[in-house]
Chain A
Amino acid sequence: MPFCTADPNLRNDWLTVGAASQLRAAPAAHPVPARLLGNDLLLWQNDAAAPHCSADGRALPIISRYGYLWVHTGDGPAPALFELPEFAQPGRRIVDCGGIGVATSGLRVVENFLDMAHFPYVHTGTLGKVPHTEVAPYRTAVDAASGEIWATECHFFQPRASASAGDGIDAHYRYRVMQPFTAALYKTCPNRAGEWDVIGLFVQPLDDEQVIAHVLLVYDEDVLLDAEMIAFQHMIFGQDKPILESQRPRRLPLSGPLEAHMRCDLTSSTYRRWLRQRGVTFGVHREPGA
């Protein structure tokens, strides 16, 4: 079975197939199945715990970074994977929140991750609260060297910004889009002033309209148990899920009259323009006849 897209944005880059820990009990004789771009993959590790991957009987390059497995499905050389320096910082708490399936285009999942205006309505009482609904102006830019999107100077009033937050705070955010299907947010750390907690979103596209959204926490946190941090993250994601799954069309429109754009949607319009400029077609809505 071939991959369901030839889009070079996907085929030439690394795509995640989930946590590296899934290979712990997966020798070559008992590989773990995974699905990517409409194709069935097999993953295993050899005696030296090096990951391996095959699809259609062919070996595919696979690496393990940030506790996740990344596969290259294209023919040419793969670019370097994005950097996440906080991952290796001493004292950081790394928590893999696992992958949750969502029936929508991965581009919708990333766009939702970049949005603050929904906080008071979808994450009521935690990440936002009516009447603190206004999104103050912030900046977006595409970094010339890396080609990544950065949104900076974002902030939003949050009654309970994280699992360990006590009182409401004006949380500061920075957003980063590394690939069409990977993003990170950097937010005010309630425990240490001046530090950023990092949440990584790595979307595994099963096909144009089905994904597994993996979330990685790279936090400054000493007290909470993993289960408590995961519970908070799953609460947030679980609240987003019915919204994401009700969006029509499922695939993301990059232009045209289907959806309205306002100034408060700056990360969304930046992201869509960036996808258009890169010529992304996978997971993108096309008008019939277009």
Chain B
Amino acid sequence: MIRLYDYELSGNCYKLRLLLHWLAVTYERIAVDFHPGRAHKSAWFMQNINPQGQLPVLDDDGFVLRDAQACLVYLASRYDPAGHWYPDDAQTRGRIQLWLATADDLTRGISAARLHYSFGYPADIAACERQGHATLRLLDDTLAENHCHGTRWLAGGAAPSIADIACFPYAALAGEARLDLRRYPALQAWIGAMRHRPGFIAMPGIIDPAL
């Protein structure tokens, strides 16, 4: 049984909850007291679960992996025999890798600002805002241009891949970083497309279309 060290409000943890749900893989969610307890920075957690003191962490029957993007690659490789989420061809894999790296930019910008506004984490807010807008602009440009080339997904193709899952949460949570998405219509369209995928599940802060 997969165990996921998880926090309800973490966009990075949500990426794995979303993919696991779409893959229909059962798992055990282990709630970590990220706030106010900062349990992910406790001696116990850093010694036994993740020396980086971060979430999420995946434990698949003793195979322990940290880092949301690494976990997306692992889960898609292991549990998606049809290869929808991490397709096998070189060009798509190259593109996906690019967007997994962009997901780190989102963590650095939008997630950091969100942690500052929600939990009082210190942050250079002006820098976060610049980084946030730069990444949102990149996503909007790509999605707008991809649309002309016949695809609505970041790495191309007829369906989303882990590239889309990796970038989705923090783009959709941009409002909590006080970034307005009004100026990014293509990004809004993509967020809507993800939310309306069959079987979509939300996280607190991202409104689920289904009632």
Within 8 Å by CB, do A and B touch in the complex?
yes
Number of interface residues of A (CB under 8 A): 31
Which residues on the B side are within 8 Å of A245 (C-beta)? 175-176
Interface window among B101-109, B112-120, B131-139:
B112-120
Whole-angstrom distance between the Cβ of A255 and the nearest chain B Cβ: 29
Number of interface residues of B (CB under 8 A): 24
Contact present for A230 and B37 (CB under 8 Å): yes
Contact present for A242 and B207 (CB under 8 Å): yes
Contact present for A231 and B118 (CB under 8 Å): no
* CA gap between A98 and B35 in the complex, in Å: 7
Known A101-B119, A124-B211: A238·B204 in contact at CB below 8 Å: yes
Residue A155 at the B interface, CB < 8 A?
Answer: no
Q: Which of B32, B37, B118, B176 has the most A CB atoms < 10 Å from its CB?
A: B118
Which residues on the A side are within 8 Å of B36 (C-beta)? 19, 96-99, 230
Interface window among A77-85, A172-180, A221-229:
A221-229
* CA gap between A121 and B204 in the complex, in Å: 13
Q: Which of B8, B119, B208 has the most A CB atoms < 10 Å from its CB?
A: B8
Which residues on the B side are within 8 Å of A103 (C-beta)? 117, 178
Q: Give the tally of cross-chain contacts (CB within 8 A).
A: 71
Known A121-B211, A124-B208: A234·B119 in contact at CB below 8 Å: no
- In the complex, the chain A residue whose C-beta lies closest to that of B205 is A238
* CA gap between A13 and B78 in the complex, in Å: 59
Residue B90 at the A interface, CB < 8 A?
Answer: no
Contact present for A228 and B31 (CB under 8 Å): yes
Contact present for A231 and B8 (CB under 8 Å): yes
* CA gap between A103 and B125 in the complex, in Å: 15
Contact present for A120 and B211 (CB under 8 Å): yes
Main SS class of interface, B: loop
- In the complex, the chain A residue whose C-beta lies closest to that of B6 is A231
Residue B88 at the A interface, CB < 8 A?
Answer: no
Contact present for B8 and A234 (CB under 8 Å): yes
* CA gap between A245 and B207 in the complex, in Å: 13
* CA gap between A241 and B8 in the complex, in Å: 14
- In the complex, the chain B residue whose C-beta lies closest to that of A232 is B8
Known A99-B36, A101-B120, A120-B211: A242·B205 in contact at CB below 8 Å: yes
* CA gap between A196 and B189 in the complex, in Å: 45
Scan residues 97-137 of chain A and give those whose CB is less than 8 A from a CB of chain B: 97-101, 103, 120-121, 124, 129-130
Interface string of B20-42 (1 = CB under 8 A from A): 00000000000111011101000
Interface string of A208-248 (1 = CB under 8 A from B): 00001000000000000111101110111111011001100
Contact present for A237 and B7 (CB under 8 Å): no
- In the complex, the chain A residue whose C-beta lies closest to that of B204 is A238
Residue B9 at the A interface, CB < 8 A?
Answer: yes
Interface string of A31-56 (1 = CB under 8 A from B): 00000000000000000000000000
Which residues on the A side are within 8 Å of B178 (C-beta)? 103
Interface residues of chain A, those whose CB is within 8 Å of chain B, are 19, 96-101, 103, 120-121, 124, 129-130, 212, 225-228, 230-232, 234-239, 241-242, 245-246
Instruction: List, sorted by A's number, 30 A–B pairs whose CB atoms are closer than 8 Å.
Output: A98-B36, A98-B37, A98-B119, A99-B36, A100-B35, A103-B117, A124-B210, A212-B120, A227-B31, A227-B37, A227-B39, A228-B31, A230-B33, A230-B37, A231-B8, A234-B204, A235-B9, A235-B204, A238-B8, A238-B9, A238-B203, A238-B205, A239-B204, A239-B205, A241-B118, A241-B204, A242-B176, A242-B207, A245-B175, A246-B175
Top 7 closest pairs, chain A to chain B, by CB: A238-B204, A98-B36, A227-B33, A227-B31, A231-B31, A231-B8, A130-B211
Known: A231-B8, A241-B176, A242-B176. 13 other contacts (CB 8 A): A98-B119, A99-B36, A100-B118, A101-B118, A103-B117, A103-B178, A124-B208, A212-B120, A227-B33, A230-B36, A230-B37, A234-B204, A238-B203
